[in-house]
């Protein structure tokens, strides 16, 4: 079942990928069947478990799918296998070979050339190559990441891409027929790529930001507090992130930007300019339904699930949060292996796979290097909380001890317990 979606589920997916049957959803039911040796190897998710996300996904799709004349504008894809090549996930997006996002400790590699996609951008080039110039693509993505209320190793993204020809971009502008998308012999600046004209990029950026701002306002409310943050992605320039104020804190919900022209060129769309975005569906659903913790997306608690039945887009759901059960915390400190092989994300991943959804948050609280021996030690605080009941000291102690011994045997650390 879905409680702990870690190495086991991933391994299972990898084994069954060759037999991948179908992922479909219809009103009231969502199931993905993975077949191996003629047997359905579980992973049947009833609609209840992911309705919040599916509702969010549908609201967004409805908002995008039709153009100004009621014509279909964006095509929608939610069926692409999460098993992609390393080339798709990184190289096709100009992510350099030594880029930190490729680290083994941050990704789920299957072998040297294959991995579980870490973002839906992995499919950008193939869909543009297929001739699409406006599409939405939703899917599960996999990352070894931090552990807190808004990060989970499996989550869902929705990618949006829209390409514009000269006419499409400038026709609404007075005198637009005199403008051009491209500027020969241009220079790359913080505002634009070398081959783009500044006026094209500014219009595109305006179109992108206003599309996303109005999406978010429509999804939440016109009063939602948002801010745009400049950032960097190897596959877009300029690039931005959008943050939403949620429970008093800024939460990042999407990344976006003007697509690198080299990518469009490699996909045979060199005469167009494009924008792309990738949004976190759980993050949006958290704001939409006031869900305080991302682990709740995997909850089987009826009091939580029954609130999302039906999934009627036109009847706003006001989620009533369950009261929070008390948390317990426990620290773990250890000497790092001298080989330097320790990575934080390996530790987070181990805590997730041993502690499952009992673990709410892991933070490093101390770091120390011995002045004489030069050996380093680190201390982490693990916060335990069950979403549906009160944990006992005894339960936490047992889990904590299992984490301690797994860390020693799998990561080569030496406990200071
Ligand atoms: C990306 O993944 C880029 N591919 C987005 C993009 C697409 C940029 C197209 C430009 C053009 P990032 O790593 O920031 O960017 O993730 C995008 C969103 O996914 C985040 O804003 C957040 O909403 C969500 N997200 C990221 N990590 C997690 C996680 N561990 N758990 C839940 N949601 C996450
Ligand atoms: Mg980001």
Please state the ipTM of this predicted complex.
0.99
Contacts of residue 302, Cβ cutoff 8 Å, sequence gap at least 6: none
252 CA distance to ligand 2 centroid (A)? 7
Ligand showing the shortest atom-to-Cα distance for residue 293: 1
pLDDT value for 176: 87
The confidence band for 29, taking pLDDT boundaries of 50, 70 and 90, is very low
Q: Which of 19-23, 187-191, 259-263 has the lowest mean pLDDT?
A: 19-23
Q: Is 26 exposed, middle or buried (0-12, 13-18, 19+ CB in 10 A)?
A: exposed
* Atom from ligand 1 closest to the CA of residue 119: 2
Q: Is the pLDDT of residue 51 over 70?
A: no
Whether 75 has a pLDDT exceeding 70, the answer reads yes
Residues 304-344 have pLDDT tens digits of 777 766 555 445 555 666 667 889 999 999 999 988 889 89
CA of 147 to the centre of ligand 2 (A): 15
pTM for the complete prediction? 0.75
Residue-wise pLDDT tens digits, 264-295: 999 999 999 999 999 998 888 888 777 888 88
C-alpha–C-alpha distance, residues 149 and 304, integer Å: 17
Q: Is 6's pLDDT higher than 70?
A: no
262: left (phi over 0), alpha (psi -120 to 50) or beta: alpha
The mean of the pLDDT values for the chain is 82
Distance (Å) from CA 152 to ligand 1 centroid:
12
Distance from residue 138's CA to the centre of ligand 1 (Å): 12
What is the atom index within ligand 1 of the atom nearest the CA of 160?
A: 9
Ligand nearest to the CA of 101: 1
pLDDT exceeds 90 at position 132: yes
pLDDT in the model for residue 63: 74
Closest CA to 126 of 142, 118, 137, 139: 137
Which residue minimizes the CA distance to atom 15 of ligand 1?
255
Nearest atom (ligand 1) to Cα of 279: 18
Report the distance separating Cα 273 and Cα 172, nearest Å.
16
Choice among 18-27, 160-169, 176-185 with the minimum mean pLDDT: 18-27
What pLDDT does 417 receive?
73
Contact 116, 73 (CB under 8 A): no
Q: How far is the CA of 91 from the centre of ligand 2 (A)?
A: 19
pLDDT at 22: 32
Phi, psi (rounded to 5 degrees) for 153: -70, -25
Closest protein CA for atom 25 of ligand 1: 280
Is the pLDDT at 406 greater than 60? The verdict is yes
pLDDT tier at 42 (50, 70, 90 boundaries)? very low
Find the 281 Cα to ligand 2 centroid distance in Å.
Answer: 13
Instruction: Name the one residue in this structure whose structure tokens are 């860390």.
Output: 407
Q: Which residue's CA is minimally distant from atom 28 of ligand 1?
A: 151
What average pLDDT score do residues 96-111 get?
A: 90
Q: Which residue, by CA, sits nearest to atom 31 of ligand 1?
A: 151
Q: Please give the pLDDT value at position 14.
A: 46
| Over residues 192-204, mean pLDDT | 97
- pLDDT (0 to 100) of residue 40: 27
- Closest Cα to residue 305, out of 23, 120, 65, 54? 54
- Model confidence at 88: pLDDT above 70: yes
Predicted confidence (pLDDT) at residue 393 exceeds the cutoff of 90: yes
Confidence of residue 138 (pLDDT cuts 50, 70, 90): confident
What is the DSSP pairing of strand 83-85 with strand 359-369?
unpaired
Å from CA of 62 to ligand 1 middle = 21
How far, in Å, is the centroid of ligand 1 from the Cα of 284? 12
Mutation pick for ligand 1 pocket among 140, 157, 234 (CB with most ligand atoms within 8 Å): 157
* pLDDT at residue 387 in the model: 80
Atom of ligand 1 nearest to the CA of 239: 10
pLDDT, residue 400, reads: 96
For 379-393, what is the mean pLDDT? Answer: 91
What percent of the chain lies above the pLDDT cut of 90?
A: 51
**Ligand 1 centroid vs 174 CA: distance in angstroms?**
36
Residues with CB under 5 A from ligand 2 (ion): 255
Q: State how far the Cα of 235 lies from the Cα of 398, in Å rounded to an integer.
A: 45
The yes-or-no verdict on residue 30 having pLDDT over 80 is no
Q: Considering Cα of 218, then 223, then 225, then 231, what sign does the dihedral take?
A: positive
* Ligand 1 pocket by Cβ (under 6 Å): 119, 121, 143, 145, 151-152, 155, 157, 159, 233, 236, 252-257, 276-278, 280, 282-283, 294
Residue bearing the CA closest to ligand 1, atom 26: 280
Mean pLDDT of 356-365: 90
Residue 185 has what pLDDT?
92
């Amino acid at each position: 079942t879905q409680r702990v979606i870690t190495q086991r589920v991933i391994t299972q997916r990898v084994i069954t990928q060759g037999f991948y049957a179908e992922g479909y959803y219809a009103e009231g039911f969502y199931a993905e069947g993975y077949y191996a040796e003629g047997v359905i190897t579980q992973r049947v998710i009833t609609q209840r478990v992911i309705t919040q996300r599916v509702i969010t996904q549908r609201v967004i799709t409805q908002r995008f799918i039709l153009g100004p004349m009621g014509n279909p504008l964006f095509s929608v894809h939610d069926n692409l296998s999460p098993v992609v090549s390393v080339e798709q996930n990184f190289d096709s997006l100009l992510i350099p070979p030594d880029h930190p996002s490729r680290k083994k400790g941050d990704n789920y590699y299957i072998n040297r050339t294959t991995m579980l996609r870490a973002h839906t951008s992995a499919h950008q080039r193939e869909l543009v190559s297929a001739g699409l110039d406006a599409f939405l693509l939703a899917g599960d993505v996999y990352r070894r990441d931090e552990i807190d209320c808004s990060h989970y190793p499996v989550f869902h993204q929705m990618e949006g891409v829209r390409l514009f020809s000269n006419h499409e971009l400038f026709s609404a502008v007075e005198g637009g027929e005199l403008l051009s998308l491209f500027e020969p012999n241009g220079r790359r600046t913080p505002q634009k790529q070398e081959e783009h004209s500044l006026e094209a990029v500014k219009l595109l950026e305006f179109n992108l930001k206003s599309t996303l701002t109005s999406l978010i306002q429509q999804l939440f409310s016109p009063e939602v507090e948002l801010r745009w943050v400049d950032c960097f992605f190897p596959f877009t320039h300029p690039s931005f992130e959008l943050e939403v104020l949620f429970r008093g804190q800024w939460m990042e919900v999407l990344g976006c930007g003007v697509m690198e022209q080299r990518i469009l060129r490699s996909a045979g769309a060199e005469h167009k300019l494009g924008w792309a975005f990738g949004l976190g569906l759980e993050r949006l659903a958290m704001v939409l339904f006031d869900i305080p913790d991302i682990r709740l997306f995997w909850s089987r608690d009826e009091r939580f699930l029954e609130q999302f039945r039906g999934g009627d887009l036109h009847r706003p759901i006001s989620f009533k949060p369950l009261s929070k059960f008390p948390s317990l915390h426990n620290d773990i400190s250890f000497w790092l292996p001298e080989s330097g092989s320790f990575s934080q994300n390996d530790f987070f991943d181990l805590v997730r796979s041993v502690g499952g959804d009992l673990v709410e948050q892991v933070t490093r609280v101390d770091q120390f290097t011995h002045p004489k021996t030069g050996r380093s030690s680190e201390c982490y605080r693990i916060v335990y909380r069950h979403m549906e009941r009160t944990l006992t000291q005894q339960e936490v102690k047992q889990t904590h001890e299992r984490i301690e011994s797994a860390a020693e045997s799998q990561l080569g650390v030496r406990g200071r317990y």
